[in-house]
């Protein structure tokens, strides 16, 4: 959202510089994080948690095994990855949408702030009423809302575009919160760090792949790229249903 606002006000090169400065500013804080001197004790539901010195490949492998060994974790992860791929497609289309709607690519980038604000508001409402909707329901319902919003962006004008991006945020914010809740509930205590790390990596990969696919598509047909994004988001629902567990999900006991 900040980058979109800077891009609209001062141009894309300035937005890139501001983004790089903010990333660099986070490095000292990360460096000062206290180290973990020893792993957590073993538990019946999983192996001891790894220390910060554990190789990245070992962390990822443990996370993959934990996710693949649990249907609730697998379907939550797959659903979120498909949603992130659709979000990446939308992000790649935003500059062209801005040009089509008001004649300026910066307007499309600034629309990211609309999505961020609506996501924040949606999460604030859910925080006020935490038991209104189950996390599992949010995980499959949010992609449907996202798909409808992307279809609206493909067919509508400037006002419809703003509404569509806002609706995407309304879906994105609660879905992320629900995803965290499901991961915390289903992941073995000794593997939560690995599950969260691996899941986040897969989501980032999905976003990047979606953006890479949408770029060439949008160059040929902006409407077509948005419809592909809507279809990708909608795929999360059959993916969720295909991985539905037969009974109460059991926690995985994967070994590191």
pLDDT computed for residue 110 by the predictor: 78
pLDDT computed for residue 212 by the predictor: 94
pLDDT computed for residue 53 by the predictor: 52
- Nearest-CA neighbor of 147 among 44, 239, 245? 239
pLDDT computed for residue 54 by the predictor: 59
pLDDT in tens, 100-121: 877 777 777 778 888 989 999 9
| All domains in the chain, ordered by first residue | 55-242 (1.20.1250.20)
pTM: predicted TM-score of the whole model, two decimal places: 0.78
Note whether 214 and 230 are within 8 A (CB): no
pLDDT computed for residue 233 by the predictor: 96
Q: Which two tokens stand for residue 91?
A: 């992000």
Give the residues across from 43 on adjacent strands.
46
Q: Which two tokens stand for residue 213?
A: 């696919």
- Nearest-CA neighbor of 191 among 66, 22, 93? 66
Q: Which two tokens stand for residue 133?
A: 């909707």
Q: Which two tokens stand for residue 66?
A: 């934990």
pLDDT computed for residue 255 by the predictor: 39
Give the residues across from 46 on adjacent strands.
43
Helix (H) or strand (E) holding 63: helix 56-68
CA distance linking residue 209 with residue 154, whole number of Å: 20
User: Counting every residue, how long is the chain?
Assistant: 256
Look at residue 46 and give its three-state secondary structure. strand
Rounded to a whole number of angstroms, the distance between the first and last alpha carbons of the chain is: 38
pLDDT computed for residue 18 by the predictor: 82
Q: What is the mean pLDDT of each run of 10 residues along the chain (256 residues)?
A: 69 78 83 56 51 63 87 94 95 87 75 89 91 92 95 87 93 94 90 88 94 92 94 94 66 42
Compute CA 52 distance to the chain's CA centroid, rounded to the nearest angstrom: 25
Residues 6+ apart with CB under 8 A from 68: 74
CA distance linking residue 157 with residue 25, whole number of Å: 39
């Amino acid at each position: 959202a900040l980058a979109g606002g800077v891009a609209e006000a001062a141009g894309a090169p300035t937005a890139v510089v501001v983004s790089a400065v903010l990333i660099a500013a986070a490095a000292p804080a990360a460096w000062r994080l206290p180290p973990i001197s020893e792993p957590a004790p073993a538990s019946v539901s999983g192996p001891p948690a790894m220390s910060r010195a554990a190789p990245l490949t070992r962390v990822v492998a443990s996370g993959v095994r934990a996710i693949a060994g649990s249907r609730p974790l697998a379907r939550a992860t797959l659903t979120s990855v498909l949603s992130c791929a659709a979000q990446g497609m939308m992000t790649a289309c935003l500059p062209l949408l801005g040009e089509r709607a008001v004649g300026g690519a910066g307007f499309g980038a600034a629309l990211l702030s609309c999505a961020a604000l609506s996501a924040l508001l949606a999460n604030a409402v859910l925080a006020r009423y935490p038991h209104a909707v189950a996390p599992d329901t949010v995980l499959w319902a949010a992609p449907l809302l996202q798909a409808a919003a992307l279809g609206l962006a493909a067919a509508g004008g400037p006002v419809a575009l703003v509404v569509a991006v806002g609706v995407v945020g309304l879906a994105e914010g609660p879905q992320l919160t629900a995803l965290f809740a499901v991961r915390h509930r289903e992941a073995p205590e000794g593997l939560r760090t690995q599950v969260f790390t691996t899941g986040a990596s897969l989501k980032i990969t999905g976003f990047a792949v979606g953006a890479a696919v949408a770029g060439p598509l949008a160059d040929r047909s902006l409407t077509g790229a948005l419809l592909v994004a809507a279809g990708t988001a909608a795929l999360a629902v059959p993916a969720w249903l295909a991985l539905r567990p037969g009974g109460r999900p059991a926690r995985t006991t994967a070994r590191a």
